[in-house]
Structure 1
Amino acid sequence: MHIHWFPGHMAKAQRMIREQLSLIDVVIELLDARIPVSSANPVITELVGTKPRVVALNKSDLAEPARTAEWLQHFRGRGFTTALLDAASGKGSKELVNRVEAEAGEKLARLMAKGIKGRAVRAMILGIPNVGKSSLINRLLGTATAKTGDKPGVTRGQQWLKVGKNLELLDTPGVLWPRMDDQEVAFKLAVTGAIKDDIYDMEKVILKLLCILREQYANRLCERYKLSEAGLPAEAGELLTLIGTKRGCLKVGGIVDHDKVRRIILTDFRAGKLGQFTLDHPDQLTAD
């Protein structure tokens, strides 16, 4: 599909992160639970270095629970403190705060030894666009202070936000890496909404998604779009047309509006109406 996207403001975001890291006690890396590896920006790992980090799997309500459990075990096995979140509903937010504060315990103890007492933990939230950073901040603050949206790239600047008495958060824009040579990763970022829909070939992305659904989750397709599993077309393009016909997405003359059908399928997938999905599997990882 040859998806490449690296807007100028993301290069600026990297510079801002580097400039602020010296002020930070703990980094919160927010990942999409549906794609924990594909949403893990290698640039973030390079930027953060040895800084204490909490890996938080967000959108857990949209991911397969058994796979999420495997991913939590994977990250813990690599020495990371982890948290499981559904920022949209607030589930897991308090546990995340507790783990961030615990991660900063050693740093605060050193400050107390120097006579600096009562300083709040300073944390930075990092993640790719549209992973749910603003939704998480809003839940932590209990108000819609941070602007949110259903498209990547809403957050542009930086702001310090006070959470209770013991935590200060530095919000940052979503950061994608300069090149996406792995087109499997690019596909997963596109289909989950991390990349703007207008910069990739939606037809190819949806056809690939339909192939996956047809092969692995045929029952979900049939249930959602009132199809017969025995009569599912093997070819993704024909399946797209069939779904469009069933949904009544027709132009003048009875021609299927393929663009409308593609957007319906994409919206259904992202909203969980086709069920829970985890597109990254731990057993696919190669040994480091």
Structure 2
Amino acid sequence: MAIQWFPGHMTSARKKAAETMAKTDVVIEVVDARLPEASSNPMIRELRLHRQRPCLKVLNKADLADPAVTQAWIDHYNRQPGVKAIAISGKKAADVAKIPGQCQGLAPHRNDNLKPLRMMIMGIPNVGKSTLMNALLKRKVAAVGDEPAVTKSQQTLDISPRMSITDTPGLLWPKIVHDSDGYMLAASHAVGVNAVIEEEVASHLAEILLARYPALLTARYGFATEGLDGIGVVEAVARKRGCLLKGRKPGELDLTKAAIILLTDYRGGVLGRISLETPESRSAMLATTPAPPDAGGQ
């Protein structure tokens, strides 16, 4: 199943973002630290490169990600021209407080009342942009929710007389080229639930967990993982958690309920600190399934 989700407001949001980019000094791109490239919108890269704007790549939710893998991604991005990467948890004020200074370093010429630093925060839905906005402004200025695409319009606010920041709606791109990206985005709750089938998403997540973190599955649910595939993990969760369909033949498993349990445990960090992709796994995936020329580098 190819996962696609592009609500109508995203088209107008992209056009508005392109206009604002012309008046921006530094782009803050927020990505999910557990899947930094899958959660990086190629349209954002295209817009900022067109305007030759530097980028602070913020790997948010780093407290949920594998720290060794996160460091590998930081090193990967810091080798790219015009890019500075940091890992944070948007729930930690001290982490969020690092962002303005990092942006200032990318645009040292914008540092007084006559030339205030103009920042623009961008990213896909549900990576924590609104939480960061509220933390940066130290008051609630952006709606926060556990559903993607809560923010629907832009707003520009002053952090200080020398700094302003523009919040933008979460932007996906019209076509997710790689199926694995769609599944990772769905597992991490970056696409609307009406675009996914929970059992398929959970099965794909389980395949990754079997390959990289099988011990976390055993520790959480109490079953051995040897010989299991993705759907086998979902079935095992169903049996362990007593997920049975009502009004059917006795013992029939409720795989949808089990899938939601697995996805919820992953999203909340209950399973442990997990990264769904590494720089190496990303390179290997692209080598076997390269994107078409018009896919924006994804």
Given the two structures, how large is their TM-score scaled by the length of structure 1?
Answer: 0.90
Partner residue in 2 for 1:104: 107
Aligned to 2:265: 268
2:215 aligns to what?
Answer: 219
1:247 to 241, 244, 253: 241
1 CA distance for matches of 2:222 and 2:125?
Answer: 34
Q: Could you report, residue by residue, the CA deviation over 1:132-157 in whole angstroms, capped at 9, with x for unpaired residues?
A: 10010111122222100111100001
Q: Residue 56 of structure 1: CA displacement? A: 1.1
Per-residue deviation, 1:204: 1.2
Q: Give every structure 1 segment of 4 or more consecutive aligned residues whose post-TM-superposition deviation is greater than 6 Å.
A: none
Partner of 1:31: helix, strand, or coil? strand
2:93 aligned residue (71, 78, 90) = 90
Q: What does the per-residue CA deviation read over 1:103-135, in whole Å, with 9 as the maximum and x for residues that have no partner? A: 222245xxx7xxxx4443111001011111001
Contact 1:160–1:171 at 8 Å: present in 2 too? yes
2:109 aligned with 1:75:
no
**1:57: which partner in 2?**
59
Which residue of the partner structure matches residue 21 of structure 1? 21
Equivalent in the alignment of 1:208: 204
Against the structure 1 CA distance between its residues 16 and 238, is the aligned structure 2 distance closer, same or farther, given a 3 Å change threshold?
A: same
CA distance in 2 between partners of 1:107 and 1:143 (Å): 25
- What are structure 1's unaligned runs of at least 5 residues? none
The question of 1:159 aligning with 2:155 is answered yes
Report the secondary structure of 2:109's partner residue: helix
Partners in 1 of 2:220 and 2:241 — Cα distance? 10
Distance, in Å, in 2 between the alignment partners of 1:144 and 1:255 is 47
> Structure 1 residues 215 and 84, CA, compared in 2 at 3 Å: closer, same or farther?
closer
Q: Give matches, 1:26-37, under 5 Å.
A: 26-37=26-37
Q: Does 1:136 align with 2:132?
A: yes
CA distance in 2, matches of 1:238, 1:67: 27
> Is the deviation greater in 213-222 or in 58-67?
213-222
SS where residue 92 of structure 1 aligns?
Answer: helix
> Deviations for 1:259-282, whole angstroms, at most 9, x for unmatched residues?
211111100011111111122211
Aligned identity (percent) is: 36
Aligned with 1:55: secondary structure? strand
Q: Secondary structure in 1 aligned to 2:93? A: coil
Distance 1:142 1:201, change over 3 A: same
How far the C-alpha of 1:187 sits from its partner, in A, is 1.3
SS at match of 2:75: helix
Please identify, of 277-286 and 59-68, the stretch whose mean Cα deviation from structure 2 is larger. 277-286
- Structure 2 residue corresponding to 1:190, chosen from 180, 183, 186: 186
CA contact (8 A) 2:208 2:276 kept: no
How many residues matched? 279
Deviation at 1:202, TM superposition (A): 1.8
Counterpart CA distance in 1 for 2:39 and 2:155 is 23
- Cα offsets for 1:135-188 (capped at 9, x unmatched): 101111222221001111000011112223432110000111111121111111
Shift of 1:233: 5.1
Partner of 2:44: 44
Distance change in 2, residues 1:57/1:236 (3 Å): closer
Equivalent residue for 1:283, pick from 274, 277, 280: 280
Q: Equivalent residue of 2:30, what SS?
A: strand
RMSD between superposed Cα atoms in Å: 2.0
Q: Does 1:234 find its partner at 2:228?
A: yes
Are the equivalent residues in 2 in contact too, given 1:155–1:172 (CA < 8 A)?
A: yes
> Does the CA contact (< 8 Å) of 2:148 and 2:192 recur in 1?
yes
